[in-house]
Amino acid sequence: MMIILAEFFVVILKVLWAFVTAGAKWVVRPKEKSVAGQVCVITGAGSGLGRLFAKEFARRRAILVLWDINSQSNEETAEMVRQIYHELDTPITKDGPVGGVEEVPPFQPQVYTYVCDVGKRESVYSTAEKVRREVGEVDILINNAGVVSGHHLLECPDELIERTMVVNCHAHFWTTKAFLPKMLELNHGHIVTVASSLGLFSTAGVEDYCASKFGAIGFHESLSHELKASEKDGINMTLVCPYLVDTGMFKGCRIRKEIEPFLPPLKPEFCVKQAMRAILTDQPMICTPRIVYMVNFMKSILPFEAIVCMYRFLGADKCMYPFLAQRKEAMNNNEAKNGI
């Protein structure tokens, strides 16, 4: 009994120390780690957040491996990355060992593009093998690719529901299984899950999307615990949960107009910069804006009816309805244009 009490006391001290260290990071900003020369795989790199992540990692001299189902858009991202590399490709000088200066060789641009449908595990595994053969072992994995069906549940074809679940959730299993073994062997790596605030709390009309993001977060958290249980402290995990991002994916989504100025859609550039800061300081989780932390906490302690009242006050209960209506109208127009 005394042993149990002693261990419990130690646990309390460790919990308190965790609070202290977490609070200290708010006061003293942790130093960002270097990713120069490290191989970084980004899924869904052809547009949106994936493209911005590629540009940010390029500025930090990482070796970029871009995956996307769209070859053209992926090559456009690669060209942007090459331009960034070109801007970095200037000789620099440093103090020599015996006085004077010596020239440091310029940075060699390295970016690779692969067409990969992360919704098909065979495509993931075969592309991962190509990466290992042509580029080398992966240090950083950014699971970013995502889709949304844009239909109410009873109007959504089963194929689209399955596609959302596979791309937004199941693909994380396959990419991780492809690259994690070497990370475990070397006890080195970083896996980033780009999820959503809709994986922490949900809203009406996007059941498939919310379920897929809840699944991705559950996978991420379970894997984080498994790495800790295996004492693989050299492998870091970062969960990214942004509020609505203005990438066009949820175009038309609106909360109550009086509240919207206080909770506008996030600029993609801001969202990625916040995420990069978290990744480079090995932060386990980043929610943007910070109010998302509070909403998630309140969801855990409040009665469901209280949450419903809050949703209605904010206009969050039906915020996706304008988006769904726009998608339905666009689909009907396309069908009429094609004579269906």
Helix (H) or strand (E) holding 48: helix 48-59
Please tell me which residue in 85, 209, 243, 311 is annotated as part of the active site. Answer: 209
* C-beta of residue 314 within 8 angstroms of C-beta of residue 255: yes
Q: Is 243 a catalytic site residue?
A: no
Please provide residue 290's backbone torsions phi and psi, each rounded to the nearest 5 degrees: -65, -20
Greatest Cα pair distance in the chain: 79
**In sequence order, which residues have a C-beta less than 8 Å from that of residue 150 and are 6 or more positions away?**
323, 324, 327, 328
10 vs 252: CA distance, rounded Å: 51
* C-beta of residue 58 within 8 angstroms of C-beta of residue 85: yes
Strands (E), the chain: 39-43, 63-68, 92-95, 101-104, 111-115, 140-143, 189-194, 235-242, 285-288
Angstrom CA distances, 148 to 69, 71, 208, 215, stand at 15, 20, 8, 15
**Token code pair at residue 25:** 């990071």
Size of the chain, expressed as the number of residues it contains: 340
Q: What is the DSSP string of 126-162?
A: HHHHHHHHHT---SEEEE-------S-GGGS-HHHHH
Sign of CA dihedral 208, 321, 249, 299: negative
**In sequence order, which residues have a C-beta less than 8 Å from that of residue 276 and are 6 or more positions away?**
53, 56, 57
Rg (CA), the chain: 22
Give the active site residues.
209
